[in-house]
């Protein structure tokens, strides 16, 4: 069983229960260039996964866990999915940061 997020796309639209790993396919490509070195993309995937998981336990509000904008993590949908971002997410599946201070500090 996978992990799912409730994602607010804008103030009036919400995507209920987006699969975390599918969400990351867009986040990695939205947060950085898909042409970056693979190790950088993989580091972004781990950091983004960790951040999203924190917000499933400490959601943005009672309706959703994260937003699609830069307040939480950029998410632009399929338009920012690339072979390299798929590879980075796939090769780091299940990997997370375990120090909460590092997770929050990564996105300040």
Query: For residue range 30-76, what is the model confidence (pLDDT) as tens digits?
Result: 889 999 999 999 999 999 888 888 777 665 666 655 655 566 677 77
pTM (2 d.p.): 0.76
How many folded domains does the chain comprise? 1
* Cα–Cα distance, 19 to 100 (Å, whole number): 22
**48 closest CA partner among 103, 108, 105, 1:** 103
Structural domain for 12, as ranges: 4-106
């Amino acid at each position: 069983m996978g992990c799912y997020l409730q994602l607010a796309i804008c103030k009036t639209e919400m995507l209920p229960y987006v699969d975390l790993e599918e969400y990351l396919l867009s986040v990695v490509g939205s947060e950085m260039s898909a042409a970056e070195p693979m190790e950088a993309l993989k580091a972004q995937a781990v950091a983004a996964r960790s951040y999203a998981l924190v917000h499933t336990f400490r959601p943005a509000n009672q309706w959703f866990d994260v937003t699609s904008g830069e307040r939480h993590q950029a998410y632009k949908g399929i338009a920012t999915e690339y072979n390299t971002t798929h590879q980075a997410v796939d090769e780091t599946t299940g990997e997370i940061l375990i120090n909460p201070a590092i997770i929050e500090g990564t996105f300040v």
